Amino acid sequence: MREIGAFNIDTLFGETRQDYGHVSNKETNFGTATLVSLDKNMIIKNYPVHLSFDWNRNEESAMIVVRDFDRLKGKELVATIGFFDGVHLGHRFLIDEMKEIAKARNLPSAVITFPEHPRAVLHADYQPKLLNSFEEKLQQLETTGVDYCIVLDFTIELSRLSAKEFITSILAKSLHVKTLLIGYDHRFGHDRTDGFEQYVVYGTECGIEVLKASPYDEGNTAVSSSEIRKLLQAGNVAEAAYLLTYPYQLLGHIVSGYKVGRTLGFPTANIRVDEPFKVIPGIGVYAVWVEVEGERYKGMLYIGDRPTLNNGKDISMEVNILDFSGDIYNDSIRVSFVQYVRGDIKFDSLEELKAQLEKDRCTVNNLL
């Protein structure tokens, strides 16, 4: 993503910075960077970064993120529009069809998306449950091979536009869309009263060819962001990964915990998730990949309220990192969910808990 920088650090620190770095693991796209502020007052070495990068694409073909629409002047685009939470199989099917149309017309392809969930803008008390942070969504969109990602701020004013006004003033005049591929069941515009037939008429009036996407059929499996959220909340992370096309991930920081695990021989890193609206998988034990300090490890992750310890009803997330030792408090950590291992159990003693953890570790070792 050329526009936001190799490591997407401008948005992390809120100011322009020089950035240098390398990818230390080509398989996981996980690496470290040295960040240097322009005034040289702060240097952070080996800051962990996760790169979504297609190793077969060169710099010239990387997805360009567009926030300033003046950059689109003089261009004609084939585009599709949506929130694309998760960038799952259904989204990728739509984007692939859009790319084929763009190729046939010898035009660049573009996805138009929003940095915030539209309902969160319209309803202040709405708290969305998301599969991706906005940065993660950009990373996943880049893996589709699309040419442009156009970031359109969803505002109250935008929500009041009719479908005709949106197509005419936004898609045609501002974004220079020449061909628009509409998702099979997608509607837009104030009150969403118009349908595909009306979109075609509005598009024709302002020079946009409007096409309806083919329906995506993955057997009897529903493919939608809401269905994937349900799977995660039920602990079915393997099925969710299949529909997402990648393991579900959480990025966070390591915080202080109860420190009981270390007395049992299973020290854990307690995780505070960075994105408050991300979906948290259901209560239980999971086999996960852990990325910390630029390296990847096997992990045994627990989500629950620790019933054996009687610590109340607060839900915590902690991971025992296999074959790892070191002080990583306050460090960044990423976990990728691979398989549900078991549910939460209240044991009669810490000895029983320790014996089960030994079994869990063997299970995780065999799964990963």
Q: What does the pLDDT read at residue 296?
A: 94
Residues of the chain with pLDDT under 70: 1-61, 189-192, 218-222, 258-259, 310-312
Say which residue the tokens 């920088």 belong to: 5
366 Cβ contact partners less than 8 Å away, ≥ 6 residues apart: none
User: Within 10 A of 303 (CB to CB), how many other CB atoms are there?
Assistant: 19
Q: What does the pLDDT read at residue 40?
A: 31
Q: How far apart are CA 355 and CA 368, in angstroms?
A: 21
Structure confidence by residue, pLDDT tens digits, 189-243: 666 678 889 999 999 999 999 999 988 876 666 689 999 999 999 999 999 999 9
Q: How far apart are CA 233 and CA 3, in angstroms?
A: 34
H or E element, residue 271: strand 269-273
Query: 335: number of CA atoms within 13 Å, CB side?
Result: 30
Single out the catalytic residue among 59, 295, 318, 358.
Answer: 318
Q: What does the pLDDT read at residue 46?
A: 36
Three-state DSSP class for residue 231 = helix
68 Cβ contact partners less than 8 Å away, ≥ 6 residues apart: none
User: Within 10 A of 163 (CB to CB), how many other CB atoms are there?
Assistant: 19
CA distances 41 to 2, 7, 36, 44, 227, Å, are 26, 20, 8, 10, 47
Q: What does the pLDDT read at residue 34?
A: 36
Phi, psi for 357 (deg, rounded to 5): -65, -35
String of DSSP letters for 171-224? IIIIT-EEEEEEPTT---SGGG---HHHHHHHHHHTT-EEEEPPPP-BTTB--S
Q: What order of strands is seen across the sheet that includes strand 209-212? A: 64-66, 148-151, 109-113, 77-81, 177-182, 209-212
Give the closest residue to 202 by CA, choosing from 175, 180, 185. 180
* Long-range contact pairs involving 125-128 (C-beta distance under 8 Å, separation at least 24): 127/277, 128/277
pTM of the model: 0.79
Q: What does the pLDDT read at residue 293?
A: 86
Q: How far apart are CA 144 and CA 57, in angstroms?
A: 11
Catalytic residue flag (residue 318): yes
Instruction: Output b/e per residue, 168-200; b: 16+ Cβ within 10 A.
Output: bebbbeebbbbbbbbbeebebbeeeebeeebbb
Give the tokens for residue 34. 């040295």
